[in-house]
Amino acid sequence: MEKYHHSTRILVALDCIVFGFDGEALKLLLVKRNFEPEKGKWSLMGGFLEENEDLEVATNRILYDLTGLKDIYFEEIQTFGKVNRDPVERTLSVCFFALINIHAHDQDAVKAQNAFWINIENKPNLIFDHNEMVNVALERLRYKAALHPIGFELLPEKFTIPQLQKLYEAIYQIPLDRRNFSRKILSTNLLIDTGEKNQQSATKKAILYRLDKEKYQNKFNAFHYFISDSMR
């Protein structure tokens, strides 16, 4: 290990993949850059780590600037560190993804950043290594959502089981059986019947549920837990 002063100090950026769900498709919040470098092209939302700022604080700052929301669910994915990943100057990028309720964000904040919600199937080409970041993020989302109940983070506070099913179908791009899905979700006991029904539906109105936040915390890891008891 070298002495501290021998080593190089480098720029540290944070880049964020923001996922949303509009009821039909999985969406990404992407920035049409009106600033240099690569002005006019698409990129992820990002920023630089500041001098006296914890990494986690910087993440929250960037998410807040973009969406106007606090307490967003986010998760670090990976730190990207190829020497030439940023052509202007060597920059490390700590990359994370965030899940937000697409209806709750501050539209003015999004406009101010020149950001837009884009269907994940229509994702434009992004600058630098941002395409790879999105790929890794999507993979991680799929992995995580299969094992832990993070899907709820993308829905409004009150939601129906069919809505939740559509979300999972959008994430995995596969059809799911309505009846088995319902039973599986209800068997987690994470949902509380609000007594209300979804008035938007044209046919039978679905029950609106909300998340049991206490159980959500406790069961977060137990959701599909490991060493599946099966081996004991």
d(CA 46, CA 44): 6
Contact 117, 29 (CB under 8 A): yes
Question: Interface with its own copies includes 11 (CB under 8 A)?
Answer: yes
* Nearest approach, Cβ of residue 152 and DNA (Å): 16
Region of 40 (left: φ > 0; alpha: ψ -120 to 50; beta: rest) is left
Among 119, 189, 201, 221, binds DNA (CB under 7 A): 201
Q: Is the CB of 70 or the CB of 179 nearer to DNA?
A: 179
Site string (37-56) toward its own copies, x via CB under 8 A: ---------xxxxxxxxxxx
> How many residues lie near its own copies (CB under 8 A)?
56
Rounded least distance, CB 228 to DNA, Å: 6
Site string for its own copies, 163-192 (x = CB under 8 A): -----x---x-xxxx--xx--x--------
Q: How far apart are CA 135 and CA 123, in angstroms?
A: 11
Q: Omega into 175 within 30° of 0, i.e. cis? A: no
Query: DSSP label at 225?
Result: -
| Cβ-based nearer residue to its own copies, 51 or 202 | 51
Selected from 82, 103, 183, 213, the binder of DNA by CB under 7 A is 183
Q: Which residue's CB is nearer to DNA, number 70 or number 232?
A: 232
Question: Which residues are 73's β-sheet partners?
Answer: 99
Q: Measured between alpha carbons, how far is 168 from 163 in angstroms, rounded to an integer?
A: 9
Instruction: Provide, rounded to whole angstroms, the least separation between the CB of residue 182 and DNA.
Output: 5
**DSSP assigned state of 171:** H
Which amino acid is located at 117 in the chain? Answer: W
Q: Who's near 17: CB < 8 A, 6+ residues apart?
A: 28, 44, 77, 95, 96, 97, 98, 133, 134, 137
Contact letters for DNA, residues 120-159 (x by CB under 7 A): ----------------------------------------
Answer whether 19's CB lies under 8 Å from 98's CB: yes
Token readout for 82 is 């190829």
With 0-12 CB in 10 A as exposed, 13-18 as middle and 19+ as buried, what is 228?
A: exposed
Q: Which residues bind its own copies (CB under 8 A)?
A: 1-2, 4, 6-12, 35, 46-56, 58, 76, 78-83, 88-92, 94, 142-143, 146-147, 168, 172, 174-177, 180-181, 184, 224, 226-228, 230-232
Give the residues lining the site for DNA (CB under 7 A): 160-162, 177-180, 182-184, 186-187, 197, 201-207, 228-232
